[in-house]
Amino acid sequence: MRTTVIAALCLLGVGCGGGQKTSAKSDESAVVGPPQVAWKDMTKKQKQTYMKKVVIPTMQPLFAAYDKDEFSTITCLTCHGDGATDSTFEMPNPEIMPLPATPEGFQALMAEKPKAVEFMAKQVKPAMAKLLGEPEFDPAHPEAGGFGCMECHTTAK
């Protein structure tokens, strides 16, 4: 009986994890993020802290393993561009290589930069999706949505 009530409250979004959320909101410097607090419900300050304390430390070793010379130290600018210095950036980031708009274009890109595409598709995209608590975009099922390449890259014209 008791568990049923608790489960019902959880479904309604109250009474489970609620206390945690309140304390997360009142302490802006604490590291909070998915899955405890959904990305979309986080404040800008919380997102910045999460990026710094969780995203960078998770992504740094992946990028360094891919190319230790170019990515020995990744920063906010690596993904967000120059606008990250004063928080004026927008995503997707026009400063990184725009990606093709068509499947043919993607085929050509895969032939041209196989190592980069594989790193992005097999490591960066899944790791970032997980960090944001979102499902991964699957080109075979675009209608399902999810986190994909175009969250970071603009589309080539």
Residues lying near ligand HEC in the complex (CB under 6 A) are found at 44, 47-48, 51-52, 55-56, 59, 74, 76, 78-80, 91, 96-97, 99, 109, 113, 116-117, 120-121, 124-125, 128, 132, 149, 151-153
Amino acid at position 92, single letter: P
Q: How far is the CB of 20 from ligand HEC (least distance, A)?
A: 21
Q: How far is the CB of 23 from ligand HEC (least distance, A)?
A: 21
Tell me the DSSP string of 71-122.
TSS--HHHHH-GGGGTT---SSBTTSPPBPSSHHHHHHHHHHSHHHHHHIII
Residue closer to ligand HEC by CB (options 64, 109) is: 109
Plot region of 136 (φ>0 → left; ψ -120 to 50 → alpha; else → beta) = beta
Cα separation, 135 vs 129, whole angstroms: 6
Q: How far is the CB of 30 from ligand HEC (least distance, A)?
A: 16
Residues 107, 113: contact at Cβ < 8 Å?
Answer: no
The phi and psi torsions of 31 (rounded to 5 degrees) equal -85, 110
Residues 110, 117: contact at Cβ < 8 Å?
Answer: yes
Q: How far is the CB of 100 from ligand HEC (least distance, A)?
A: 9
Residue closer to ligand HEC by CB (options 6, 52) is: 52
Residues 21, 119: contact at Cβ < 8 Å?
Answer: no
Residue closer to ligand HEC by CB (options 56, 64) is: 56
Q: How far is the CB of 8 from ligand HEC (least distance, A)?
A: 31
Residue closer to ligand HEC by CB (options 17, 106) is: 106
Residue closer to ligand HEC by CB (options 6, 85) is: 85
